[in-house]
Amino acid sequence: MSSITAPITVKWKKLRPDAQIPKIQTAGAACFDMSAAMDEPIVIKPHEVTLIPTGLAAEIPLGYEMQIRARSGLAAKHGFTLINGIGTIDADYRGEIKAIVTIHTKEPLTINPGDRICQALISPVLHVAHEEVTELSDTERGVGGMGSTGVGRV
């Protein structure tokens, strides 16, 4: 049996009248979709970095962040990806949310005003206390870096 927690409130400010306030598409969805908001279509050329505006600013509660991610359908069909993998919108940012994207295909992709371009979720942020030390505890892996655990079956 799963437990449902009480929702937190994210306040949205439309910076353009045609901006779309995000919404969850299905009851079990982890993310909500974000839509493009601009006057004309944007053509994304292969391997070029493009900013796609959402026409929205948000007030995210302190102690949380918004994570922007690629939508799986656009990724599978058009090689659409966010340049920074997952974009982080901090709780104290109040500017327009934009997706920084590229495509990994040979053909350009046209994004039209109102197209759902990315998905986002709200996640808690753990604040970290930093401590300088002269020694770290030992582990089985130790200093073994990238690839040190192999690629074969377990």
- Please state which of the four CATH numbers 3.40.50.2300, 2.120.10.30, 3.50.50.60, 2.70.40.10 is assigned to the domain occupying 13-124: 2.70.40.10
For residue 103, list its beta bridge partners.
80
Query: In Å, how far from its chain's centre is CA 97?
Result: 10
- Predicted confidence at residue 1, as pLDDT, reads 43
Local confidence pLDDT in tens for the 154 residues of the chain: 455 678 899 999 999 999 999 988 888 889 999 999 999 999 999 999 999 999 999 999 999 999 999 998 999 999 999 999 899 999 999 999 999 999 999 999 999 999 999 999 999 999 999 999 999 999 988 887 777 777 777 6
With beta carbons less than 8 A apart as the criterion, state whether 61 and 8 touch.
yes
Q: How far apart are CA 144 and CA 79, in angstroms?
A: 33
Signed CA dihedral, 111, 115, 119, 122: sign only? positive
27 within 8 A of 7, measured Cβ to Cβ: no
Phi, psi angle pair for 135, to nearest 5°: -140, 150
- Give the pTM: 0.84
CB 68 within 8 A of CB 34: yes
- Which candidate, 59, 73, 56, 76, places its Cα nearest to that of 118? 73
Collapse the DSSP code of 50 into the 3-class scheme (helix H, G, I; strand E, B; otherwise coil) and give the result: strand
